[in-house]
């Protein structure tokens, strides 16, 4: 049997002779550094700004250089533009009407004064477009969403669902903001279930027009960004109805299609006849975005306004499509709109970086309590605080590399139009959007709590970040629904495997790990507890993939069993929580694989060591959080589980020692951080001055 390196086993609670001594020992672990080796004594943790002898020497500049994407110059250009324009900066307190006006002026200035053309960027280099989106989100998340509505959704629908005639007519005027528009998909009664939308577009062969109608109040278009104030056009998703072409001369419902519908006069901005627009009102967050509700009453539009890439209607009313069924056309239509999910996943990582940066910098600054008759220590020296923030910091790094992979895949999809890549991106964007936005939403609240009372001040950003980001979990696909799409695709891949088919690129690891699962866990490796073994990327990735394979195999068996009595829908619902866990497990495996690859690819040795440390914490903390799964199947023996727990403590402490450099490496300017307690220097001075105190003369 191969020997392992130094053990991470420490004295256990069982070795303490009395319950009182065991409680004291647990309390001491809250304050003291976890020892890396068995039998080693516990020593006081280093205070803020100090580093333990022999610890990693992190270079923030080198980390920044590796993290920076090739579009960092564009982001810097955007930051500098808004920093130089105080009138375009969003204050902490702002009424809704003023915020909406400011948000439109911010977007107009970006396009008309800074010279950024988002739609052109999206078409030429999606990665640069997403970098711009992250930058404007740093200025104001409302601005990022408003830009996303204009370009990802309204512009993206014209580009991706239309044909040459639509691009020639609309592209430039959308890009230069002459044609502000909306994306009218969601209805009062239907959001996630797009195939059940009720708005109709009936073809009139006499006038060669479509007639857009809202048949009932449940079909009112709801939550439509840009609709309440600024939009002049809307891409309206409606059921295409062809008279007399159904069975027995009945109207034929051809399924959901997209139509360009003018909603306001281009000159006067008056709402056009037959259209009723109302304001959705004040929201929990994102009040710089003017969400409205639209109702249509016999609104006529030219036949050419059908976005006809996947289905067309001729002058004589004949319908043609390269895709033979309603379901195929619907899938193709939604598949072209994944850019919104990619953008949300990308931007959510940016929000997480800001929140973690504020919380970590404040935790390094803030000092509370300490050993008797000695100076107070940084709150980040407390083990409980490290457990709150260090895995979160590690996750921000993991997500950074995962989103880069997603954008690369999306860019490849746009260049090649390869069907397999498109399918891969659809599922990957669904999973990453769901997983990352859910994680970020929870993390913002933890960051707020970790900053105590000062975290509750609006000026320190957590309230605004939480409220503005919260809806990321819902729009562009509800997170629970998106995870089901991931689970459904995994089951499809599972079926393909046992039919002898090929697996798509992202999922091909299942081939080997499924074979591993179907054999019994190795009782020898299940007990290995050495640090080198636990920090081996192969062990970590194998553990993640083993869990996914096991969940996939077991849920497939459960579904097959329940389908006999409950049918397909009932069986799916009976296993729904199992399916969601499967999807999350798979996405975690993808994230870890990208992080490991990024560590290996780092050219600078010291930077690679730091990233390896952070990656190890990300992986082992996730394993520990789901240790019950591994214990239940004897993949991890009790002694190994205990070693993982202790190593997570130790790695959290090690990451704490380089936490300042890790957040500085995100390279987010202070003008974008904005929270006084999150400044790189003189945080308290900026905070006190911000509320009206000024330095007394010395």
Catalytic residues: 476
In whole angstroms, give the CA distance from residue 584 to residue 271. Answer: 45
Cα-Cα-Cα-Cα torsion 650, 442, 590, 328, nearest 10 degrees, comes to 170
C-alpha triplet 456, 466, 96: angle, nearest 5°: 90
- Which element (helix H / strand E) includes 231? none
Tokens of residue 327, six digits = 């379901």
- DSSP state letters, 622-638: HHHHTHHHHHHTTSS-H
**Beta-sheet pairing, 181-184 with 233-242:** parallel
Q: What are phi and psi of 181, to 5 degrees?
A: -145, 180
Q: Among all chains, which residue has been given the structure tokens 């970790």?
A: 450
How far, in Å, CA of 24 to CA of 43, rounded? 16
DSSP label at residue 210: E
Residue 616 CB partners (closer than 8 Å, separation 6+): 535, 540, 651
372's tokens: 């008797």
Cα 236–chain centre separation: 26
Among 137, 212, 96, 12, residue whose Cα is nearest residue 642: 12
Structure tokens at 76: 């810097």
Q: Can you spell out the DSSP letters for 281-313? A: ---SS-TTS--EEEEESSEEEEGGGB--SS-EE
Cα–Cα–Cα angle for 616, 621, 626, rounded to 5 degrees: 135
Nearest to 304 by CA among 341, 270, 253, 262: 262
Contacts of 172 (CB under 8 A, 6+ apart): none
Question: Measured between alpha carbons, how far is 635 from 419 in angstroms, rounded to an integer?
Answer: 37
Q: Residue with structure tokens 């973690």?
A: 356
Of 211, 217, 131, 223, the closest CA to residue 182 belongs to 223
Number of other CB atoms surrounding residue 234 within 10 Å: 29
Burial degree of 127 (CB within 10 A; 0-12, 13-18, 19+): middle
Q: Is 225 annotated as a binding residue?
A: yes
Q: How far apart are CA 186 and CA 223, in angstroms?
A: 7
Closest CA to 177 of 115, 87, 240: 115
DSSP state of 519: S
| φ, ψ dihedrals at 636, nearest 5° | -130, 125
Beta carbons of 584 and 435 less than 8 angstroms apart: yes
Within 10 angstroms of residue 207's Cβ, the number of other Cβ atoms is 11
| 8 Å CB contact between 231 and 181 | yes
- Name residue 301's beta-bridge partners: 210
Task: Say which DSSP state 376 is in.
Answer: -
CB 220 within 8 A of CB 293: yes
How far apart are alpha carbons 429 and 427 in whole angstroms? 6
**Separation between Cα atoms, residue 626 and residue 588, nearest integer Å:** 12
Q: 461 Cβ partners below 8 Å, 6+ apart?
A: 354, 355, 358, 673, 674, 675, 678
Q: How does strand 200-204 pair with strand 233-242? A: parallel
Burial class (CB in 10 A: 0-12, 13-18, 19+), 3: exposed
Residues within the annotated binding site? Answer: 186, 225
Residues within the annotated binding site for FAD? Answer: 186, 225
């Amino acid at each position: 049997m191969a020997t392992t390196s130094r053990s991470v086993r420490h004295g256990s609670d069982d070795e303490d002779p009395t319950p009182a001594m065991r409680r004291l020992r647990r309390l001491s672990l809250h304050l003291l550094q976890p020892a890396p080796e068995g039998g080693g004594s516990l020593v006081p943790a280093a205070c803020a700004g100090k580093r333990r002898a022999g610890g990693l020497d992190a270079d923030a500049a080198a980390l920044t250089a590796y993290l920076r994407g090739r579009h960092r110059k564009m982001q810097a250009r955007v930051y500098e533009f808004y920093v130089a324009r105080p009138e375009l900066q969003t204050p902490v307190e702002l009424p809704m009407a003023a915020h909406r006006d400011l948000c439109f002026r911010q977007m107009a200035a970006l396009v008309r004064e800074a010279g950024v053309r988002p739609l052109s960027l999206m078409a030429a280099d999606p990665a640069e477009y997403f970098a711009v989106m992250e930058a404007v989100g740093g200025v104001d998340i409302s601005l990022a969403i408003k830009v996303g509505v204009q370009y990802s959704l309204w512009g993206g629908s014209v580009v991706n669902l239309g044909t040459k005639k639509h691009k020639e007519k609309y592209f430039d005027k959308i890009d230069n903001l002459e044609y502000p528009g909306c994306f009218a998909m969601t209805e009062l009664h239907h959001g996630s279930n797009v195939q059940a939308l009720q708005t109709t577009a009936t073809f009139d062969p006499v006038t060669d027009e479509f007639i857009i109608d809202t048949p009932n109040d449940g079909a009112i278009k709801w939550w439509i960004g840009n609709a309440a104030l600024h939009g002049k056009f809307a891409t309206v998703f409606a059921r295409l109805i062809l008279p007399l072409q159904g069975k027995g001369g009945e109207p034929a419902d051809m399924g959901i299609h997209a139509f360009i519908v003018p909603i306001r006069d281009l000159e006067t901005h008056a709402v056009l006849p037959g259209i009723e627009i109302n304001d959705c009102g004040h929201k929990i967050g994102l009040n710089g975005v003017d969400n409205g509700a639209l109702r249509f009453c016999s609104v006529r539009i030219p036949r050419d306004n059908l976005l006809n890439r996947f289905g067309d209607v001729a002058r004589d009313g004949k319908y043609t499509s390269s895709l033979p069924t309603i379901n195929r056309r619907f899938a193709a239509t939604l598949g072209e709109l994944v850019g919104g999910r990619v953008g949300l996943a990308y931007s959510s990582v940016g929000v997480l970086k800001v929140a973690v940066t504020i919380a970590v910098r404040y935790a390094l600054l803030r000092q509370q309590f300490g050993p008797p008759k000695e100076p107070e220590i940084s709150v980040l020296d407390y083990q409980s605080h490290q457990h709150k923030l260090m895995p979160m910091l590690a996750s921000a790094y993991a997500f950074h590399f995962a989103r880069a992979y997603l954008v690369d895949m999306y860019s490849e999809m746009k260049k090649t139009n390869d069907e397999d890549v498109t399918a891969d991106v659809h599922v990957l964007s669904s999973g990453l959007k769901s997983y990352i936005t859910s994680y970020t939403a929870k993390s913002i609240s933890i960051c707020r709590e970790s900053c105590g009372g000062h975290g509750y001040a609006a000026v320190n950003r957590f309230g605004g970040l939480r409220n503005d980001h919260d809806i990321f979990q819902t729009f562009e696909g509800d997170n629970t629904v998106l995870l089901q799409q991931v689970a459904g695709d995994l089951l499809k891949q599972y079926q393909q495997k046992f039919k002898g088919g090929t697996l798509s690129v992202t999922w091909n690891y299942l081939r080997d790990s499924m074979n591993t699962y179907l054999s019994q866990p190795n009782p020898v490796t299940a007990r290995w507890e050495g640090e080198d073994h636990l920090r081996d990327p192969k062990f970590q990735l194998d553990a993640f993939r083993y869990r996914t394979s096991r969940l996939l195999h077991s849920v497939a068996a459960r579904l097959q069993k329940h389908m006999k009595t409950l049918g397909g829908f009932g069986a799916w619902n009976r296993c729904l929580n199992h399916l969601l866990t499967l999807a999350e497990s798979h996405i975690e495996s993808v994230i870890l694989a990208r992080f490991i690859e990024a560590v290996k690819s780092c050219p600078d040795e010291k930077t690679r060591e730091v990233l390896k440390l952070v990656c190890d914490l990300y992986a082992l903390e996730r394993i520990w959080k789901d240790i019950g799964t591994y214990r239940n199947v004897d993949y991890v023996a009790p002694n190994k589980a205990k070693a993982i727990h202790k190593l997570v403590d130790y790695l959290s402490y090690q990451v704490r020692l380089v936490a300042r450099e890790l957040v500085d490496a995100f390279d987010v300017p202070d003008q974008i951080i904005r929270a006084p307690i999150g400044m790189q220097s003189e945080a308290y001075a900026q905070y006190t001055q911000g509320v009206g105190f000024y330095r007394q003369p010395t």
